[in-house]
Structure 1
Amino acid sequence: MSVARFKDLCVDVSSVGPMTEFWETVLGLSSSADAAADGPVPLRGDLPGQTVWINKVAEPRTVKQRVHLDVHTSAIADLETLGATVQSPISAEQSWAVMEDPEGGEFCGFPRDSVPAYRLMEVVVDSVDPEAQARWWHGVLGGDFNAGEGKPYSWIENVPGTPFDYFVFIAVPEPKTVKNRIHWDVDAGTLDAVLAAGATLLRPQDDAIDWSVCADPEGNEFCVFLPKPEDV
């Protein structure tokens, strides 16, 4: 039985305005009028889970992103027009292009004949042990666990609340070294249940934040939101 439910995604950026415009168009979302002048900007779709928060941070991107987004697109050239650059083009062995956003963050573009209104296809997480990571998140979020036989990746799908198809965990040789620039938030009944599942508490909810910051077994940050008193 799962102990949490997917809530939304968060993307750390250095320049909020340009990156809001970029991801708004790439993902097929709309910037929200309820954004605070000095706070994160929410991009929203038709479903609550289609919310993506654009968060300004002081530190620039310094290493390959450990979490990246795969998106549907009508053409790779359309992404380039928005300010993305091609890192690795489509080839006979690769049906997608590895891209960099305007701040150098990696993402992948998958050309489609028909592009859905919401264009996020999957969230991909670099992992030392992808099967263990997929099994752990399957236990936390539910859905269906899958392991690619003889393949260096595992994934979960049909995860309640997720407006995209897959969480994919793919093998890489290097461990995590810096804070991820993309993370997801979850709703949970209790923080204790998330910690009992094996998460590490990095920062508890306090007067400054309405959530607790946790990490999964490989150190990937995620935020846990608990029911508000009026919702209990």
Structure 2
Amino acid sequence: MALVTFKDLVIDVEDPAAAAGRWGRWLHLAGEIDEEGAVLRGEHPGQTVWLNPAPLKRVKNRVHLDLVARDLEPFADQIRITEPGEFSWTSFSDPEGHEFCVFQGGERPDGLKDVVVDSVDHRVIGAWWADVFGATLGSDDEYSWVDDIPGSPTESFDFVNVPEPKTVKNRVHWDVALAGEATVDDLVARGATVLLPPGDDRGWTVMADPEGNEFCVFDA
């Protein structure tokens, strides 16, 4: 039984206004800016991306976004990490150091394609998220993918093994909403950890999955 549905994405950034400009263009979403940060919105609630102010990025992101674009022109002023044709995607870094990958062409509309997560054991953590989302799991030797996530605008969540350990809070995370009669205790019973319970003006629970990836849980 699914415990949660996808709600939205959150990216920690140094300059929310500047980040809203570039990520809004790349994701084809409209930006709203206020004194607390920025938010990008599309036609559907699941397309929402919150851009929260945060200190300087210091390490490689363990969670990054894959995008789809007709060509690479919108990214010409970004730092290119790989060369076109080197892989089936081209990797870039934005001015704040956020890594992302761009896939060209295909039938999917331009914008967000996948959420990619560095992992210790991609099969185990991929199966965990497929279970709590009630989604479809696929796997091979290189990575695991979770498709058909309720509420998600992505093609998939991809989990890929990396040798380096997680050392800091992820600068990209996702929010979820409890499904049906599910509770935070149900997530704990499946192996999640409560990092911060609701309190003050915070109406959500901050949790971590079995590999330490942070996510926020909201009531349905």
**Could you say whether these structures have the same fold, taking a TM-score greater than 0.5 normalized by the shorter chain as the test?**
yes
- Tell me if structure 2 keeps the 8 A contact 1:74–1:115: no
Identity of aligned residues (%): 44
- 1:73 touches 1:115 (CA, 8 Å); kept in 2? no
Cross-structure match for 1:132 = 124
Partner residue of 1:38 out of 23, 35, 42: 35
RMSD: 1.4
Counterpart Cα distance in 2 of 1:63 and 1:171: 17
Q: What whole-Å deviation, never above 9, does each CA across 1:161-203 have from its counterpart, x for those lacking one?
A: 1111000000101111101000000001421111111111000
Partner of 2:134: 142
Partner of 1:197: 190
Deviation track 1:131-174 (CA, whole Å, cap 9, x = no partner) reads 001000011111101112xx220011011111110000001011
Contact 1:74 1:114 in 2 (8 A): no
Residue range with higher mean Cα deviation, 72-81 or 178-187: 72-81
> Residue 171 of structure 1 corresponds to which residue in structure 2?
161
Alpha-carbon spacing, 1:79–1:4, altered in 2? closer, same or farther (3 Å): same
2: CA distance, partners of 1:221 / 1:208: 19
Between the aligned partners of 2:115 and 2:39, the Cα distance in structure 1 is: 18
Q: What count of residue pairs does the alignment treat as equivalent? A: 217
1:225 deviates by: 0.5
Structure-2 residue corresponding to 1:12:
12
Relative to structure 1, the CA distance from residue 21 to residue 113 in structure 2 (aligned partners, 3 Å threshold; closer, same or farther) is: same
Q: Distance in 2 between matches of 1:161 and 1:64?
A: 28
Aligned ranges for residues 8-157 of structure 1 at < 5 Å? 8-32=8-32, 37-57=34-54, 59-81=55-77, 84-91=78-85, 93-112=86-105, 116=109, 119-148=111-140, 151-157=141-147
Would you identify which runs of 4 or more consecutive aligned residues in structure 1 move more than 4 Å?
A: none
Query: How far is 1:113 from its partner?
Result: 6.3
Shift of 1:208: 3.2
Distance 1:70 1:167 in 2: 10
Does 2:198 match 1:208?
Answer: no
Deviations 1:83-127 (A, max 9, x none): x22111122x5121110012111000112266615x100000000
Contact 2:116–2:160 at 8 Å: present in 1 too? yes
Partners of 1:114 and 1:145 lie apart in 2 by 22
* Cα distance in 2 between the residues matched to 1:202 and 1:136: 18
Are residues 195 and 111 of structure 1, via their aligned partners in 2, closer, same or farther at CA, if it must alter by over 3 Å? same
Which residue identity lines up with residue 37 of structure 2 in the other structure?
Answer: P
